[in-house]
Amino acid sequence: MKRYVCVLLVLLPCSAVQSKEYDFNQAYAHLLRVDNTLSASRRETAVYGFRKRSAQGLRYPSLGVKGNFSKISDPITIDLNGIRAAVQPLYPSGVTLPDFALDVQDEKFFKAQAYASLPIYTGGKITAAVSAASAEYGAAEAKREAVENNLLVELAAKYFGLLLAEQTVQVRRTFLDNARQNAEDGAKMFRAGTISHVEKMAVDVQLAQAKRDYNTAVNNAATAQTLLDSLLAEPEPVRVRTRLFVLPQEQVPSLALLQQNAQAKNPVLTLLANKTVLSAAQEKKERAEFLPSVYLFASRELYTNDLTILEPDYAYGVGFAWNLFEGGQSYYKTKAAQEQTHSLELLKAQQLTDITTGIEYHYQKMQNARETYDALQQELEFTESFYNARRLGFKAGTATSLEVNMALSQWLKTRLDSLKAQYEFVTSLAAVLNLSGQPELFAGYLQGV
């Protein structure tokens, strides 16, 4: 049997092009830098981070200054000269009362004031607002983590998909070379009269099919290359360095442990948990609308020249506000928040069921892939020897072309099945770790590959 071709003919036209080579961890790190969806999610997380910090400011005093220059239609004057005229006769002659008119406000005046207020009781509005902002940030962070984890699964499918496609081309090329050699041997034997025309046709048909399957494999490899290049936003073809692999049973966490970890670490469940907290905070905020708000306040006039006799230089005290009726808005908003909380609890329970089932599904796929791969290892060597024996028998006239074709087809099937089993194992492992909220473990499994 000829050795596998180490360099794919399909990649030869790209040899003059500068290309990048990534192992899987390097490709993943690069993807986390260039993926626009993840970048947008990071920006969204930053938005809610600033909103969270903004909500903390509700606990602090509010300080400010304000001023205005005004012009009114007429000066404001307190005129009591009517009273003066009434009481003037009561005084001895020669005693003249002063003018009883007092200018209170000129027609043009300027005022400037510093003020401060501090809420001391809001019925829980501030606590609810802070809790809601924190929950929104937690939900955004969980969403970002989910996007990041899903990229691991997508990259695993496309990175190892390209590797699978390339190795499939190698296997198909070797199959094609052997089919061509069998066809050439069959033609010689037919001309020598040692085999019939039907037997020659059998090896010719297999050669034609081998050419067609090889061309399909080349096209599939080109498609897989395009998909990976697009995912990594690389203008030139990316070369993959990490090999397909299968881990022994003892190196993979148990199904029960993976499902248990998912309850605490899966970002989708964390997202729903934060949304539930947010809904509860909104309910608390609406309930607080039924209660009064109490606050401290203080003010100081910064420009006193235009103050009237009725206006103090400073003032401080305690105030309150209580909305007694608003058409039932807060009541129905409270009911809506309660329903939203119940809805999220049901959704979280369903998501937990789906995630647990998904972990079990991919775990079983991983188990099946390992068992298939292990079973094929001895079969790979057997089909190699079996094909060589059939081929020698065919050249010696003791085996038919159909027997050679069958042996070569078995050789091909075991190798393709082995590659497929490795691909199924790797992608299922990535999916299991993603669902359990532990994608970081994937990098560790690649250390020995």
> How confident is the model over 219-248, as pLDDT tens digits?
999 999 999 999 999 999 999 999 999 999
Termini Cα distance of the chain: 27
The per-residue pLDDT of the chain, averaged, comes to: 90
User: What are the extents of the domains in the chain?
Assistant: 9-61+123-287+326-445, 74-106
CATH architecture of the domain 9-61+123-287+326-445 equals: Up-down Bundle (1.20)
Query: Which has more pLDDT, 387 or 229?
Result: 229
- The pLDDT, as a whole number, for residue 289 is 86
Going by pLDDT thresholds of 50, 70 and 90, the confidence category of residue 162 is very high
> How confident is the model over 39-64, as pLDDT tens digits?
999 999 999 999 999 999 999 999 99
HEC profile of the chain = CCCCCCCCHHHHHHCCCCCEEECHHHHHHHHHHHCHHHHHHHHHHHHHHHHHHHHHHHHCCEEEEEEEEEECCCCEEEECHHHHHHHHHHCCCCCCCCCCEEEEECCEEEEEEEEEEEEEECCCHHHHHHHHHHHHHHHHHHHHHHHHHHHHHHHHHHHHHHHHHHHHHHHHHHHHHHHHHHHHHHHHHHHHCCCCHHHHHHHHHHHHHHHHHHHHHHHHHHHHHHHHHHHCCCCCCEEECCCCCCCCHHHCCCHHHHHHHHHHHCHHHHHHHHHHHHHHHHHHHHHHCCCCEEEEEEEEECCCCCCCCCCCCEEEEEEEECCCCCCCHHHHHHHHHHHHHHHHHHHHHHHHHHHHHHHHHHHHHHHHHHHHHHHHHHHHHHHHHHHHHHHHHHHHCCCCHHHHHHHHHHHHHHHHHHHHHHHHHHHHHHHHHHHCCCCHHHHHHCCCC
Mean pLDDT, rounded, for 177-202: 88
- The pLDDT, as a whole number, for residue 449 is 63
pTM: 0.81
Mean pLDDT, rounded, for 156-178: 96
> How confident is the model over 76-116, as pLDDT tens digits?
888 888 888 888 888 888 788 888 888 888 889 899 999 99
CA atoms within 13 A on the CB side of 169: 23
- What is d(CA 443, CA 29) in angstroms, rounded to the nearest whole number? 11
Among 70, 66, 68, which Cα is nearest to 115's?
Answer: 66
| Single-letter amino acid, residue 369 | A
